[in-house]
Structure 1
Amino acid sequence: MPGTSAKLFGNAAQAKATSSPRAKMAMQAAPPPPTLRAGPVTAPATPAFERFGWAFMDLRTNQLAGSSNKDTMPNTTESMIKPWLAADYLSRLGNEQLSAAMRQTITSMIEDSNDEAANTVYKADGGLASIKRLIATCKLTETELGASWSETRITPADAVRYGKCIADDTAAGPTWTPWLLDKMRHVEGSVKDNTPSNVTMQGGHWGIVDALPESLAEETAIKNGWTYIYADSRWHINCLAINPDWILTVEMQFAGSQTYAGLQQGADACASVSRQLLYTPDV
């Protein structure tokens, strides 16, 4: 049946010709997602910063970059140190179970930036002994003790090393690190949620994360620190972001409005650094 054979052969050839372009399209790799990478950063023109510095560690290459003062410009940690308080407590549990009460306390300290919860964990950690362990455990070189957890002084470069210490299991250990990073991915509240009269729900979901695409923001753990210090009439603000591929910190001090409008300026400055380092690889 030569006629039938020819017809079948023709259909096969036609099917091959039709499917070939589709096969080639299926083999194409998906474009790489946006990420951050080291690059030049210009500080925002406003507000008038008394101090401004940043540091960036690329975990893919283990290279550290940042502003020229990243190793020499300390700032008080404020709430940025709260993940350490949690990590220190969790790593020292040993074979003990984390109580429901302390689980909720740590969760509130991280997600809500609850200062009362931080004081509870800090006391359970042994006070300043915990900050000494931070310096030793994370191998910080330019960090100094203050009168309490929030007054610890840390440079941008040391803050990145601290972030890496949280990310790589060194601080909390392999059992608790995923749980802690998950809490840091669920920080709640905007700048407007920050009011001096409320220390239990202060709102810390702003800053670096504001400049990240949604897919990148979802996988990035954050913890900011901020206080208007009346003794020097300045905002002390820090932003910390931990991504599987990188860690970024931004630190600053400036005089400005004591309301959330001043804090918004700091949040915008952190976002500006993040936005300048954002990189979308070529397809």
Structure 2
Amino acid sequence: MVAVGALIVVVPAARTRLAGAGRVLGISPAVTGNARIAMQAPPPPPTLLAGPVTAPADLSLFGWALLDLRTGTMSGSANRETVLNTTESMVKVWLAADYLRRLGSQRPTQQTLSEIALMIEDSNDLMADKYYNLDGGPAAIQRLSTVCKLTHTVPGQSWSYTRMTPADAARYGRCVEDSTAAGPTWTGWLLDTMRHVRGTVQDQTSETRQGGRWGIIDGLPASMVPATAIKNGWTYIYADARWHIDCLAIQRDWVLTVEMQFAGSQTSAGLQRGADVCASVARQLVYAPAV
């Protein structure tokens, strides 16, 4: 027998002894001439699986939730159904989805699609204000709870002050992924737009351009990144002198959400700290099957 890479080449004299080993390994040998070649199937791609997660002890608020879209199983921190954080820009995906779904058979103009794309990709606040009002203001957030079957989501004085638990944020992500939020016509477009969120924590240049490509996506293996849709939310709120940060990531098989609050620098250094926590949670949950 000669082993070459992933191939096992068996000469005829040893054929009977190793054929049984192939069955134990779950391999179906392929016959080529006088040699029998067995190919082992490649391992499945990496994914996220529930497991223990640690976070800095000095966070004022911290919670996370992982929803397995294959089984419907929700896991996460013990407070995932109870702790509330303001959503900030994470809710902008809903403002887009609600508007597009309610159009029905009417097609949005190219200007509308461009504005919605800016709201997601650049986290444009002016566009969020516009579509929040077009969606009916607080009524849009009430529809979010009804349409997506959320149990602990509370409207606020504006879209950014919507409060949501990590578990509800994961259900919200599922609602986007399964076409309930935007409807079948626009879900693919919306998820693809979320895959093109751009800008780092340094890119907080104005209310029309704010960098949001950081967090969970930085904790994922490179092979998972292109198919991952994200939308983060972040604001330093002077009323309580804390950063309020939310991270949302959607894949075909799972949704991961992380929420936190903490006191600290009002600069990008403070935002980077929150981004690092989100990345750390994702990194701790990555499961890469052994080769």
Q: TM-score, normalised by structure 2?
A: 0.87
Relative contact order higher in (CA < 8 Å, ≥ 6 apart)? 1
Aligned-partner Cα distance in 2 for 1:58–1:39 = 13
For residue 210 of structure 2, what is the aligned residue in structure 1?
202
Shift of 1:31: 1.6
- Post-superposition Cα deviations, 1:219-277, rounded to whole Å, max 9, x if no partner, equal 11000000000010000000000000100000000001000000000000000100000
Shift of 1:16: 2.0
- Post-superposition Cα deviations, 1:128-167, rounded to whole Å, max 9, x if no partner, equal 1111100111111111110010000000011001111111
Aligned-partner Cα distance in 2 for 1:207–1:89 = 27
Aligned-partner Cα distance in 1 for 2:34–2:272 = 59
Which structure features the higher share of strand residues? 2
Q: TM-score, normalised by structure 1?
A: 0.90
Match of residue 128, structure 1, among 108, 122, 138: 138
For residue 73 of structure 2, what is the aligned residue in structure 1?
63
- Post-superposition Cα deviations, 1:79-138, rounded to whole Å, max 9, x if no partner, equal 000010000000011121111111111000001111011111111111111111001111
- Post-superposition Cα deviations, 1:49-87, rounded to whole Å, max 9, x if no partner, equal 110000000112110001011111100000000010000
For residue 262 of structure 1, what is the aligned residue in structure 2?
270
Aligned length: 260
Letter in 2 for 1:92: R
For residue 154 of structure 1, what is the aligned residue in structure 2?
164
Match of residue 76, structure 1, among 74, 78, 86: 86
Aligned-partner Cα distance in 1 for 2:184–2:42 = 32
Aligned-partner Cα distance in 2 for 1:194–1:157 = 28
For residue 114 of structure 1, what is the aligned residue in structure 2?
124
Match of residue 189, structure 1, among 199, 202, 213: 199
- The sequence identity of aligned pairs, in percent, is 64
Match of residue 30, structure 1, among 35, 39, 42: 42
Match of residue 163, structure 1, among 157, 168, 173: 173
Runs of 4+ in 1 over 6 A off after TM superposition: none
Shift of 1:43: 1.2
Aligned-partner Cα distance in 2 for 1:49–1:235 = 10
- Post-superposition Cα deviations, 1:191-241, rounded to whole Å, max 9, x if no partner, equal 11124xx01110100000001111111111000000000010000000000
Give the secondary-structure state (helix, strand or coil) at the position aligned to 2:60. Answer: strand
For residue 33 of structure 2, what is the aligned residue in structure 1?
16
Letter in 2 for 1:38: A
Q: Which runs of 5+ in 1 are unaligned?
A: 1-14
Shift of 1:282: 2.9
Asked whether the equivalents of residues 44 and 272 of structure 1 are also in contact (C-alpha less than 8 Å), the reply is no
For residue 281 of structure 1, what is the aligned residue in structure 2?
289
Give the secondary-structure state (helix, strand or coil) at the position aligned to 1:191. Answer: coil
Asked whether the equivalents of residues 235 and 263 of structure 1 are also in contact (C-alpha less than 8 Å), the reply is yes
For residue 41 of structure 1, what is the aligned residue in structure 2?
53
Give the secondary-structure state (helix, strand or coil) at the position aligned to 2:75. Answer: strand
Letter in 2 for 1:225: G
Match of residue 105, structure 1, among 103, 106, 115: 115
Aligned-partner Cα distance in 2 for 1:182–1:148 = 26
Aligned-partner Cα distance in 2 for 1:192–1:278 = 27
Aligned-partner Cα distance in 2 for 1:17–1:42 = 56
Letter in 1 for 2:43: P
